[in-house]
Amino acid sequence: MSTTRKRVLITGAAGFLGSHLCDRFIAEGYHVIGMDNLITGNIKNIEHLFKLEQFEYYHHDVSKFVHIPGQLDYILHFASPASPIDYLKIPIQTLKVGSLGTHNLLGLARAKKARILVASTSEVYGDPLVHPQNEDYWGNVNPIGPRGVYDEAKRFQEAITMAYHTYHGVETRIVRIFNTYGPRMRLNDGRVLPTFIGQALRGEDLTSFGDGSQTRSFCYVSDLVEGIYRLLLSDYAQPVNVGNPNEITINQFAEEIIKLTGASVKIIYKPLPTDDPKQRQPDITRAKALLGWEPKISRAEGLKITYDYFKSLPASEWDITPKEFIKG
């Protein structure tokens, strides 16, 4: 039976999203090849899969030539630092995985006649002048600002993916992912949700940047994975937003975390980082129409699951500091 399984390569497999995608494709009966160089991923996220015959793992940097022996039906390219604390520490690797890594995987898809889905991001919209953001909006991005290494890597990734689609006829899919959360996030990854929960667990005041009026929209990870799965199997090659349009200010979100955790803490304010987007809300009209998809998990339900996950970690991990990265 294993010889008849469709084979899927998932890059960034040990990361937050990549590991959940591995679980989903295993559950759907695929043979999953996970690939990660562990620069931001954690092998613990996928070690439960190692005992399975239908899972294999390659420790590899996709910015270097990628070879997978045998048949390959699908590729999901999720290898990339995805939070400011990561891509500000490793800006060159961030640019390389979005450019060289994507190029390598598109070449592999072409050689194997595989369909490839690339993980883009709401950051291609930058600090948006259009609200909510739909896929036809071109964005407002500072290419040389501190966030430019991530934003422009993803914008280039979309451009080369569409070039391979139009010039070489490769079957491509592009998902633009908005803020996603759930178990296996890193408490130290610098994004607002794990930061707030980590601070609450440690009894620290919650740090809000700016005046806290900026907005975010949070999608629970199982909803996102469902949207990605449907997009991969669709026949649509243009970008599709996948996220939860339920918008909330950072101040409101901080109050929700304080209430959820019962922590005796307050909100403190620090200056807004350069080029930090003031608003973030997906227009998911396209995903609804094409994929029949919309999020199902409420923020209250998703936050409870995520908080219970973080609370279950050893207390020593609540105070974890960001790992050092290799320059290059």
DSSP-derived secondary structure letter, 114? -
Under a CB-based contact definition with an 8 Å cutoff, are residues 129 and 154 in contact?
no
To the query of whether residue 150 is one of the catalytic residues in this protein, the response is yes
CA distance 325 to 148: 19
Which of 164, 162, 176 is CA-nearest to residue 237? 162
CA distance 20 to 13: 8
Torsion angles phi and psi, residue 147, rounded to 5: -90, -5
Under a CB-based contact definition with an 8 Å cutoff, are residues 75 and 117 in contact?
yes
CA distance 250 to 171: 39
Q: Which residues make beta-bridge pairs with 184?
A: none
Torsion angles phi and psi, residue 112, rounded to 5: -90, -5
Counting beta carbons within 10 angstroms of the beta carbon of residue 200, is it exposed (0 to 12), middle (13 to 18) or buried (19 or more)? buried
Q: What is the CB neighbour count within 10 angstroms for residue 121?
A: 21
From the candidates 125, 150, 164, 181, give the one annotated as an active-site residue: 150
Q: What is the CB neighbour count within 10 angstroms for residue 98?
A: 31
CA distance 317 to 296: 30
Residues designated as active site: 150
